[in-house]
A = this chain, B = another copy of it.
Amino acid sequence: MTFTFWFEFASTYSYPAAMRLEHLAAERDIEVRWQPFLLGPIFQAQGWNDTPFKLYPAKGRYMWRDIERICERDGIRFRRPSQFPRNGLLAARIANWHAEEPWVPAFVRSVLRANFEHDEDIADPQVIANCLAEANLDAEVLLKQSQQPEVKESLRAATEQAQALDIFGAPFFMAGTEPFWGYDRMEQALDWYEARMGEEE
């Protein structure tokens, strides 16, 4: 049984989830797989050509208030990005290809903070290079690698897997086969998994 954190670099609620997940999982001795995917193709498949927060303006206005309130409550610095949603494709390709590496959570947080704390354009390779450097990684090598066909294909496959799992938003947590959607379900998902972790062992 595995615990998987499905996230999107463009997704506001993925940001506080990524900032707090590692700590909350460690408290429960849960190993987490950090799995990026793209919401774009999933939204498109259900007939949306943009984020629901723009297609449905009242929902969008609420979301900005809600995320600001939540980050304040949870002690997470947040600044509303001047551009939304930003294109997280490059970061997602890198994080997905290296998902097993121990540096991925730090890299993910660095990219999400660039987007939601520092208002930087995460579609810009230079911004991603800085995030990689912050995690003590060789940015030049990783950026070049991110353009290889098998790296691109692997992220496409991950997004298809998300769709096959009925994942329709982010963040999304799979506690084994049990689905939990949204930052507000993160602790419930971890508790659920913790209570059943021993079952298979």
Contact = CB atoms under 8 A, between A and B. Distances in A.
Contacts of A168: 56, 58-59, 62
Interface of A: 46, 55-56, 58-59, 61-62, 65-66, 73, 166-169, 179-182, 184-185, 188
A193 B66 CA distance: 15
Nearest to A61: B166
A58 B167 contact: yes
Q: Tell me the number of copies of this protein.
A: 2
A62 B182 CA distance: 12
Nearest to A184: B184
A62 B184 contact: no
A138 B167 CA distance: 48
A108 B62 CA distance: 26
Given A46-B56, A46-B58, A62-B166, 7 more contacts: A56-B168, A58-B166, A59-B168, A59-B169, A66-B180, A66-B185, A73-B188
Of the listed residues A56, A58, A61, A62, the one surrounded by the most CB atoms of chain B closer than 10 A to its CB is A58
16 contacts: A46-B55, A46-B58, A56-B168, A58-B167, A59-B168, A59-B169, A61-B166, A62-B166, A62-B179, A62-B181, A65-B179, A66-B180, A66-B181, A66-B185, A182-B184, A184-B185
Nearest to A73: B188
Contacts of A181: 62, 66
A185 B69 CA distance: 12
A39 to B, nearest CB: 13
A38 to B, nearest CB: 16
Contacts of A61: 166
A25 to B, nearest CB: 20
A77 B191 CA distance: 22
A184 B188 CA distance: 11
Contacts of A184: 182, 184-185
A67 B167 CA distance: 17
